[in-house]
Amino acid sequence: MAVPKNKVSKARRDKRRSAVWKLDAPAMSKCTNCGALKAPHKVCKACGFYKGVEVLKLNAD
């Protein structure tokens, strides 16, 4: 079984563990048609437009 040769200090151990939980916030951009926030390079879920072209027909409830 593997056994550490030297003690790993608390600072070194915690430095290694610190970046694991950090997540980046998802990138969001404004829809050019309706102004709602959407993921870049994706169809807008609010209006169904992508790059000024209607891709999805959404029901107007």
Token couple for 28: 């969001």
Token couple for 58: 């959404």
> What is the rounded average pLDDT for all residues in the chain?
88
pLDDT in tens, 9-31: 999 999 888 876 777 888 999 99
Q: Which of 60, 37, 36, 41 is nearest to 51 (CA)?
A: 41
Amino acid identity at 30: K
